[in-house]
Amino acid sequence: MKEKTENYTHYIITGLIMTLLAIAGLAIYSLSETQRLANAAELFNSERVARGSEIYQEQCTACHGADGEGGSGPALNNRTVLKNTLDNVFFSVIRSGVPGTQMPAWSVDFGGPLTDEDVRDVVALLRSWEPTAPEIVAQPYVPNAASGARLFFSTCAACHGEDGSGTPDAPRINDPQRLQSLPDDWYRGVIRNGRPAKGMPTWGTVLSPNQIEDLVMLLSAWREGQQVKPAYATAELLENALYALEQGDAESAALHIQHAEAVTSGPALEVLRNASAQIAAGDLAGAQATLAALRAEWPLGDAVAGVQIYSASCAACHGVQGEGGIGTALQNNAFIQSQTGGELLQFILAGRTGTAMAGFAGRLDETQIADLIAFLRLWQSAP
C-alpha cells in the first residue's frame, strides 16, 4: 500500500504571507515613527527659534538691527557669515563676547542675562535665517595703528611695556632694527599662535582677526620709527578708572585718567583734572564720586560747538534744521530720545550698515561727537 505524503505548501505560503505582512507593518511603523520624530524635531526647533526671536528683539537689535541687517554691530543676516560660521562658534561668541569690541559677554557665567539654553535659542534663530539670507559683501578692513596702540596697552603692555619698550619678562618690541629683521607675517603668526616655550600666550583665540591686523599695523608703524598715539575712548577709560578705584588701585586709576585727559577737551577735561587732583591728595572716594558723575553724564559736550559740527557733517543729509532729507528727521527723534549718550556716541562712530548713514570713526573724534550729541539733545525738547 502506497504511503500518503502530507503537503505543507499551504503552511509555507501562509507563513510567508504572515512574515511579509509583519515586515510591511514594521516598515510602515518605521516610516510613521521617522516622520513623527521629524515632526517633533521640527516643532522643537520652531519653538526654539520663536524663543530666540524674543531674546534677540530684547537684547540684540540695538547693535545688529531688527532683522540682523547690522548697525553699530556687524550684519548677522548675511549668507556668507551664516555659511562660514558653525553653531558652536556663534554659541561661544554670544556666551563670552569679544574682548576689545562692543560685543559683551551675555552668559550668566560672565555676568550677563542669558542662560546657555537662551544662547542656543538665539543661535537657532540665526541659523533659521540662512536659507533666505542676502549676500552682503563686507568692505575690506583697513587696519589702524592707533587702534592697535590702544589694544597693545590693554593686552600686551603688561609684558612688553606700555610703549613696547620691554620689561624683565619680555623683549622690547618697538625696536625698528628688530622689527625690520622680520616680516609682518611672522609677527602676525606669533600673535595668533603664540610661542609657549618663550612664555608668549596664544592670542588668536582671544583677539579677532581685525584686532590682530591692528596690532600688526602698529608694529609696522614702529618699524618706520613712527610715534603712534593710542585711539583711547574716554568712556572706556572712565570705566577702567572707576573699577581701579573700587579695588583701591589708585596708581592704575591715575594712569587711566591720564590717558583720558590726553584725548578729552572741553568741560569733561576739567572734571578729569579734578579727579586726578583728588587721587593725588589721597581722596579716592571723592575721585570715585567725581568720575561716576561724569560717566552718568557722558559724553559731556558743548552744544554751541556742536552747531558747527552738525552744519559741516550732518546737515546735508538730515536738513539744516534737522527736518530730514536723505536722512531721517532729527527733531523730536524717538531713537535719539531712547539712547544714552554713550550709545549715541558708538552709533555715530559706527554708522548703520546698508544705509546712507556712514560711520564717523576717523572723521570726528570723541569730543566732537560729544558736542554734536549735546546739540542734538536740544532738538528733543523742540515743539
Question: 71-110: per-residue pLDDT in tens?
Answer: 767 889 999 889 989 999 999 999 988 775 668 888 888 8
Backbone angles phi, psi at 277, to 5 degrees: -65, -40
In the chain, the percentage of residues whose pLDDT exceeds 70 is 91
Q: What is the reported pLDDT for 52?
A: 92
pTM (two decimals):
0.49
- Give the residue-averaged pLDDT of 164-186: 86
Residue 328 DSSP label: P
Distance CA 68, CA 53 (A): 11
Backbone angles phi, psi at 271, to 5 degrees: -65, -45
Going by C-beta distance under 8 Å and a sequence separation of 6 or more, which residues neighbour residue 224? Answer: 176
Distance CA 150, CA 256 (A): 12
pLDDT (tens digit, 9 = 90+) per residue, 205-220?
A: 888 888 999 999 999 9
Going by C-beta distance under 8 Å and a sequence separation of 6 or more, which residues neighbour residue 149? Answer: 218, 228, 229, 230, 231
- Give the residue-averaged pLDDT of 363-367: 82
Distance CA 97, CA 206 (A): 10
Q: What is the reported pLDDT for 72?
A: 64
- Give the residue-averaged pLDDT of 150-156: 86
Query: If you write DSSP's letter for every residue of 139-157 in order, what string do you get?
Result: PPP---HHHHHHHHHHHTH
The answer on pLDDT for 4 being more than 60 is no
* 64 touches 75 (CB < 8 A): yes
Distance CA 260, CA 366 (A): 11
Mean pLDDT across the chain = 84
In the chain, the percentage of residues whose pLDDT exceeds 90 is 30
- b (16+ CB within 10 A) / e for 235-266: bbbbebbbebbeeeebeebbbbbebbbebbbb
The answer on pLDDT for 248 being more than 50 is yes
* C-alpha cell read off for 132: 533666505
What is the separation of C-alpha 234 from the centre of its chain, rounded to a whole number of angstroms?
Answer: 18
The answer on pLDDT for 289 being more than 90 is yes
The SS3 call for residue 197 is helix
The stretches of 176-208 forming alpha helices (DSSP H) are: 176-180, 184-193
Query: Exposed, middle or buried: residue 152 (CB in 10 Å: 0-12, 13-18, 19+)?
Result: buried
